[in-house]
Amino acid sequence: MRLFLLLGILFSLGSASSVDKQLRSGIIRNSPSMVTEALKMGANPNQEVEKGRSLLMQASYKGRTSQVKALIKAGAKVNYIGKDGQTALLQAASGSNLDVIKLLIVNGAKVNHKAKSGTTALKIAVLSEDIEMVKYLLGKGADVTLPGLGKKDIRSLALESKNKALIKLFK
């Protein structure tokens, strides 16, 4: 009897690992059905993958809104901080994914989080001159006085750009 119990436990542990792999694979392959199925089977939505980043960070960077929704619904930590200080919000900003940014903020993402490098979502938006992202982040309380590059704050970076629409937002 003990042997069967032990085998059952080992099988369960193996299954958990395989559903976690299925979830990672679903994110990589952009397969919403694989992601949904793996999460239903109990896959860990807070798995760390490469460079200490989470699956939510990967899906956010790639702009996979349905996967981001599924991961959040399954309990993914929206403000999980990777080894480099990155969060899903910073990854979404790096990927220029405004819909994902909105989804993350609605679910509690910290707008003014700074990575170890000093990067913020607003800084990324300003440097990439993504006007819609800048407008949205400003509307959600992004701090323009946080450092941008060197001693200059984000407002200064925006005002030094040659993009008239961007400059107008910071005057």
**pLDDT at residue 11 in the model:** 42
pTM for the model stands at 0.87
The CATH number given to whatever domain includes residue 135 is 1.25.40.20
**Domain assignment of residue 146, given as a range:** 114-170
Residue 153 phi, psi dihedral angles, 5° rounding: -85, 175
In a domain, 51, yes or no: no
Query: Does residue 38 form part of some domain?
Result: no
Q: Does an H or E element contain 152, and which?
A: strand 152-153
* Dihedral sign, Cα of residue 26, residue 32, residue 37, residue 43: positive
Q: At what angle do helices 65-73 and 32-40 cross, to 10 degrees?
A: 10
Maximum separation of any 2 CA atoms in the chain, in Å: 75
- What are 118-129's pLDDT values in tens digits? 899 999 999 999
Domains: count for the chain: 1
Does residue 72 form part of some domain? Answer: no
Residue 95 lies in a domain: no
Domain-located, residue 16: no
The one-letter amino acid code at 140 reads K
The average pLDDT across 7-33 equals: 73
Output the six-digit token pair for 56: 């939510």
Residue 64 lies in a domain: no
- Specify if 156 maps to a domain: yes
Inside any domain, residue 33 = no
Please report the pLDDT score of residue 91 as a whole number: 98
Per-residue pLDDT, averaged over 139-151, amounts to 84
pLDDT at 3: 40
